[in-house]
């Protein structure tokens, strides 16, 4: 029974998993990338976000979105970068296709094409036996920014930023990213709202290094193929080395 279950999951994955190529999908488009940091609520950019051709969001954002906050975070969903770990505490939350389609999400993208990422994807198919198309970054895109992190695994948020900046977008607006210099927004990660708790969680995991990601992101901005990159106020200050 277990063998047949695994075989069927493999069949579904082989026929449903596609490659997401930012250079092809986003060329010439205006793209907004919305992260989960509390900085997204410092400005009322909701309408501006929704005016972009493509709005990229991260992990649990469909589950934590609230209409009464749309003046800050917008209401448009186009692409979702997701770890394919569905736990709420440190993963991306449940992959709910009915909800995602209702919200306008067109593609769900796993940014980790390594052995670990493929296993997470395979486990998803074993849990759901889903025939829905899913997507994964090319190894070329992933290892382009992975090499700067000295062995640490990129967070889903950083992977979204770095991969999209490789595309020749007309414009990219980035908000809700602070590289853990500020807390998560609202109820995004219950139990990790305070900086000390979140810092301890990251250290205990031992997977990610926000400081290296910030350093790498600064370099990504310098070599970005996007014609115009706009940062929200808080992220702009962080890039300039100011305290927030």
- Nearest alpha-carbon partner for 135 in 107, 173, 102: 107
Strand spans (E) along the chain = 17-20, 30-34, 54-58, 79-81, 107-110, 134-137, 171-175, 229-231
Residue 193 placed within a domain: yes
Residue 244 placed within a domain: no
Residue 184 placed within a domain: yes
- How does DSSP classify residue 36? S
Say yes or no to pLDDT of 89 above 90. no
Per-residue confidence (pLDDT) for residue 52, from 0 to 100? 98
Across the range 107-133, mean pLDDT stands at: 95
Per-residue confidence (pLDDT) for residue 102, from 0 to 100? 97
Range of the domain at 160: 2-239
Angle, to 10 degrees, between the axis of helix 2-16 and the axis of helix 115-128? 110
First to last CA, the chain: 55
Say yes or no to pLDDT of 213 above 80. yes
41-65 tens-digit pLDDT: 999 999 999 999 999 999 999 999 9
- How does DSSP classify residue 144? H
Helix (H) or strand (E) holding 212: helix 210-223
Per-residue confidence (pLDDT) for residue 211, from 0 to 100? 94
- How does DSSP classify residue 91? S
- Nearest alpha-carbon partner for 22 in 14, 12, 33, 13: 33
Alpha helix ranges (H) inside the chain = 2-16, 22-25, 46-50, 61-64, 70-73, 97-103, 115-128, 139-146, 156-165, 195-205, 210-223, 233-239
Say yes or no to pLDDT of 190 above 90. no
Residue 109 placed within a domain: yes
Say yes or no to pLDDT of 186 above 80. no
Domain count, the chain: 1
Q: Beta strands 54-58 and 229-231: pairing type? A: unpaired
Per-residue confidence (pLDDT) for residue 26, from 0 to 100? 97
56-88 in b/e form (b: 16+ CB < 10 A) is bbbbbbbebbeeebbebbbbbbbbbbbbbbbeb
The better pLDDT of the pair 181, 242 is held by 181
Residue 123 placed within a domain: yes
Cα–Cα distances (Å) from 82 to 62, 178, 179, 232, in that order, read 11, 19, 18, 23
Q: What is the CATH number of the domain that holds 31?
A: 3.90.1480
Residue 177 placed within a domain: yes
Residue 133 placed within a domain: yes
- The three-state secondary structure class of 152 is coil
Residue 209 placed within a domain: yes
């Amino acid at each position: 029974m277990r063998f047949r279950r695994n075989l069927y999951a493999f069949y579904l994955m082989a026929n449903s998993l596609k490659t997401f190529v930012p250079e092809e999908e986003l060329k010439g488009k205006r793209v907004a990338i919305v992260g989960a940091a509390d900085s997204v609520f410092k400005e009322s950019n909701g309408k501006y976000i929704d005016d972009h051709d493509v709005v990229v969001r991260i992990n649990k954002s469909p589950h934590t979105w609230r209409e009464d906050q749309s003046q800050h975070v917008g209401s448009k969903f186009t692409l979702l970068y997701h770890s394919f770990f569905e736990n709420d505490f440190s993963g991306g939350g449940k992959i709910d296709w009915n909800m995602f389609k209702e919200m306008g999400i067109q593609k769900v993208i796993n940014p980790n094409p390594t052995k670990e990422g493929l296993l997470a994807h395979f486990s998803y198919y074993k849990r759901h036996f889903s025939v829905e198309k899913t997507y994964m970054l090319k190894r070329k895109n992933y290892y382009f920014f992975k090499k700067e992190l000295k062995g640490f695994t990129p967070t889903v948020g950083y992977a979204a930023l770095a991969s999209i900046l490789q595309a020749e977008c007309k414009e990219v607006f980035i908000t809700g990213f602070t590289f853990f210099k500020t807390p998560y927004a609202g109820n995004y990660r219950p139990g990790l709202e305070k900086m000390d708790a979140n810092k301890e969680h990251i250290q205990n995991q031992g997977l990610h290094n926000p400081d290296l990601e910030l350093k790498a992101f600064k370099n990504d901005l310098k070599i970005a193929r996007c014609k115009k990159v706009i940062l929200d106020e808080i992220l702009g200050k962080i890039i300039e080395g100011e305290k927030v």
